[in-house]
Amino acid sequence: MNRAFVMPLFLVALTSAAASLIPNGSLENAAAGPWPAGWPRHAHAAYLEESGNHFLRQTAAGPDTMVMLYQSIRLPQGAEALKLSMRVRYEGVKAGREKWHDARVIIDFKDAAGNKLPGGPAHPSFKGTSKGWEKRTLGMAVPPAAVTLEIMPALFNASAGTLDIDDLELVPIPAEEAGFVNFSLSAPMPVPQACASAELVVKGNRLVTRSGGREVWLQGVAVASLEWSAGGDHILTSVTNALTEWRANAIRLALKSDFWFGRGPWQGDGGLKYRALVDQVVKQVQEQGAWVVLDLHEYRAPEQKHADFWRDVSTRYANHPGVIFGLLNEPHDVSWKIWRDGGTVDEKVAPKAGVPAENGEALRRFESVGMQKLVDVVRKAGARNLVTASGLDWGYDLSGVLEGFALTERGGNGILYESHVYPWKRGWQKSFIDAAARHPILIGEAGCQPERMPFIPPEAHELPATWAPDMLGCIQKYRLNWTAWCFHPSASPCLLSDWSYTPTPYWGVPAKAALAGKPFEMKRMR
């Protein structure tokens, strides 16, 4: 592959907190030639002027040639996040040999040794012809080891077209502002006038009403699909059916942060419809006098994007009596210290005996902010709502909570620790029952099915006929809060056989009976 670009001309030091880190980003300071001072030259770029405004234009040199302007910018010490803005215009950009061979602005963080760091933003990319100049703005967290930021406007092996660029500006911003550069923080949503839900607080290892101290036992179902679809599947009908026909008093609603912020595929409204649907669920549940756990249905360890999610969600639903915040669905393959305090999460995972990989997610290296950070973000937003914190081993193991890694509450109504229990999980006593003696527990997911899931060893599979009554008996014996997985006919293990809400015989029937008050006996501990 041929390359037509110029190596860096400068490394920039910060001169003031408000100044742009890119000198002559406006391109108006011209040097001899003429050419913008501090900018590299190459054969496929031109310095042009329109109505007194100067800009750079790059022209494609064919599908096997990279046309690139290269700038390397030294970052100020202690920079938490950056805001990058620029104006771009493009015309006739056609892809090269691959679909990603287009016009783009490549943005990479590098460490002191020049190694590329994970965690950089998605590269703004362009095809076709713009209607004129477009302003693009990005917020990005700075990886802890980052020393420089490379900004490279390029025609990335595009077969044809031009890319104009102007008015580049890069400024440090606080970490909590990076996720809101292109998104307006939600306004507080009023509590529904007909709200019949009582505000709950933690008292010992139980939940009680804030007013009057009446004990409340959360029992319900998990409603899926908003984590994989921005429109969801029968969400409002499912919530109605669960609260009425299935007698649930709690709904665990799975959500995805990208959909919330409108970053999912086919979302052209910035997430407005998605958030409005969640608003409807929040209103509906509270008018029925029940509770909804807003479950951030993501994995591994808390990231800054999760802190951004909770900043917005907790601002929107602050102090709604029936709203509980489920901080992160299923942490796994990190230490308890990283779980609580954050740190570097490695892309490599050492297999652990008896702990199967329950999800096919691609592992990557990133910086975790820790679960405590998510609690603090919620409280900083002025929300005293209950929060839930799932343990390790895909949300199952809570043993670390009793071994010095409990979270610290800072002025809210308290923390439920959340466990997800399935037939292949062993060691109930240490994993969640011991914690239940000191803390309120939410079994946020539990379920079983006759078929063995492919990641489960044959010897770890157990049939529902023995597991379901023992699990429900355990929940009842220790009065554990619970939301059964899953109120959907295709998200296994399924409570439903169809969208007529017929319970599956193996899990839906016993779970529905338990919600209706039928007692079960735990005959054997797992």
State pLDDT tens for residues 478-513: 999 999 999 999 999 999 999 999 999 999 999 999
Q: Give the rounded distance of the alpha carbon of 84 from its chain centre.
A: 22
C-alpha span between 310 and 316 (Å, rounded) = 9
pTM of the model: 0.88
How many C-beta atoms lie closer than 10 Å to residue 505's C-beta? 11
State whether 446 and 484 are in the same domain: yes
State whether 333 and 301 are in the same domain: yes
State whether 205 and 115 are in the same domain: no
State whether 265 and 155 are in the same domain: no
State whether 267 and 163 are in the same domain: no
Contact between 306 and 299 under an 8 Å Cβ cutoff? The reply is no
Domain end marker among 151, 180, 209? 180
pLDDT digits (tens, 9 = 90+) for 399-431: 999 999 999 999 999 999 999 999 999 999 999
Assigned domain for 95 exists: yes
Q: Which domain holds residue 465?
A: 200-346+360-515
pLDDT digits (tens, 9 = 90+) for 76-129: 999 999 999 999 999 999 999 999 899 999 999 999 999 998 878 889 999 999
C-alpha span between 313 and 271 (Å, rounded) = 13
State whether 491 and 459 are in the same domain: yes
State whether 31 and 148 are in the same domain: yes
State whether 63 and 99 are in the same domain: yes
pLDDT computed for residue 5 by the predictor? 39
Task: List Cβ neighbours of 260 (8 Å cut-off, separation of 6 or more).
Answer: 271, 274, 275, 278, 309, 312, 313
Task: List Cβ neighbours of 77 (8 Å cut-off, separation of 6 or more).
Answer: none
Q: How many structural domains comprise the chain?
A: 2
State whether 143 and 250 are in the same domain: no
C-alpha span between 487 and 504 (Å, rounded) = 10
